[in-house]
Amino acid sequence: MASGDTGDAERVFDVIFTCDAVNGGTMRTDMQATMVEPDHATFDLATDEGAFHGGGGTAPTPLMLFAGGLSACLMTQLRAFSKRLRVDAGAIRLHTRLHWRGRQRGREPYVTEPVAFTIDIEMDGAASLEDRLRLIEAAKKGCFVEQTLMRPNTIAHRLKHAESWVDA
């Protein structure tokens, strides 16, 4: 790279979030979600289940937070990149639909799998169809949640046992 030419320099950055969750015995879970990198911020979150699933209905269910996280992550990239790519998107509306299937044998714990995920997008602005599609393509590549869902991920679990940690 030529000295002073920073236009094509690749910048690599880490994005790290943590979530501390506690459950005392009901279906309600209380959480602190924290952005650790690249900035620092913390918000309290909670989930509960409806009476159908033995909960008190005091907060959204876990899958509502998941659906909101996916929708809002894509939305935020659409908004941010609309400015960067100078695409007049105007107000943006998304309708996300997430479909899973569960299977349960007798009284055993059920097992689950995703079936179909769709996101319908509407933009009020004056941008051409070509520019709208270009914006969506960039937002998909920049959306942390969508990029995560597109590939198989390993989640490493550890259980605390007698003051040490065992793989779980």
Q: Restricting to residues 29-68, which ones interact with a copy of itself according to CB under 8 A? A: 29, 31, 33-35, 38-39, 41, 43, 45, 47, 49-50, 52-54, 57, 59-68
Between residue 81 and residue 120, which ones bind a copy of itself under the rule CB under 8 A?
81, 84-85, 90-107, 109-120
Q: Does 10 bind a copy of itself (CB under 8 A)?
A: yes
List phi, psi (to 5°) of 120. -95, 135
Q: Which of 3, 160, 163, 164 binds a copy of itself (CB under 8 A)?
A: 160
Say which amino acid occupies 155.
I
Nearest distance, CB of residue 90 and a copy of itself, angstroms: 8
The Cα–Cα gap between 109 and 106 comes to 9
For residue 116, give the 3-state DSSP assignment: strand
Q: Does 127 bind a copy of itself (CB under 8 A)?
A: no
Total of chain residues touching a copy of itself, rule CB under 8 A? 128
The Cα–Cα gap between 132 and 97 comes to 21
The Cα–Cα gap between 155 and 152 comes to 10
Q: Does 71 bind a copy of itself (CB under 8 A)?
A: yes
Q: Which of 2, 3, 4, 159 binds a copy of itself (CB under 8 A)?
A: 159
Q: Which of 2, 3, 4, 14 binds a copy of itself (CB under 8 A)?
A: 14
Q: Does 2 bind a copy of itself (CB under 8 A)?
A: no
Instruction: Count CB neighbours of 66 within 10 A.
Output: 14
* Among 22, 124, 30, CA closest to 79: 124
Say which amino acid occupies 156.
A
